[in-house]
Amino acid sequence: MNTIVRKQMSIHPDVMDMLNNQIGMEMKASAAYLAMASWCDQRELLNSKAFFYKQAEEEREHAMKIFKFVNDNGGAAISPNVTNVNNEFESLKSIYETGLEHEISVTESIFKIFKAAREKNDFITEVFMQWFVSEQSEEEDSFRSILDIFDLMEGMPLKMIDERIPTE
């Protein structure tokens, strides 16, 4: 009985559910960053707007990477619902803080999938998730570095801070 599913799918069904949940999280992150990009764009914060437009695209790429992985391995990828996107922010600094918080929760979620894949001997997913583990540490690092700039330049005009934000 159990081998039946194995013939059709090379990933574990429970892990597949988690991957589908992750697709939703990445798409939600993409939408959240797009809202942040718009806030910055309207206020002529050029480096920040470039940063968030790029983040929005990257998150979508992450979602697509998982989406195709699920289907390529015989599973069913689900196009997620993205609702309750926040478009109101109080400050540029709070935007970056929210971004970091979001990245931390994504990292936790990725660790959970990694752990489940390992526990269920789903090595294909485990290896696939390795890229996401290193990607998350880079993402968190870039947000932390930017928040450091805010601390170092406290009290300076917003546009001057924005000019210090790395665009690449």
Residues of this chain that interact with another protein (CB under 8 A) are: 1-13, 17, 74-76, 78, 119-124
Report the residue from 28, 49, 60, 62 that binds Fe ion according to the rule CB under 5 A.
Answer: 62
* Least separation in angstroms between CB 165 and another protein: 42
CB nearer to another protein: give 55 or 73: 73
Tokens representing 135 are: 């990607």
Q: Closest approach of Cβ 65 to Fe ion, in Å? A: 9
Residue 26, token pair as written in the block: 């990445």
Instruction: Identify residues 3-32 at the interface with Fe ion (CB under 5 A).
Output: 26
Six token digits for residue 78: 């689900």
Distance CA(132)–CA(110), nearest Å, equals 7
CB of 114 to another protein, least distance (A): 15
The answer to whether the annotation marks 12 as part of a ligand binding site is no
Q: Is 150 helix (H, G, I), strand (E, B) or coil?
A: helix
Could you tell which of Fe ion, another protein, none binds residue 2, using a CB distance below 5 to 8 A set by kind? another protein
| Residue 6, binding choice from another protein, Fe ion, none, Cβ under 5 to 8 Å by partner class | another protein
Residues that bind Fe ion (CB under 5 A): 26, 59, 62
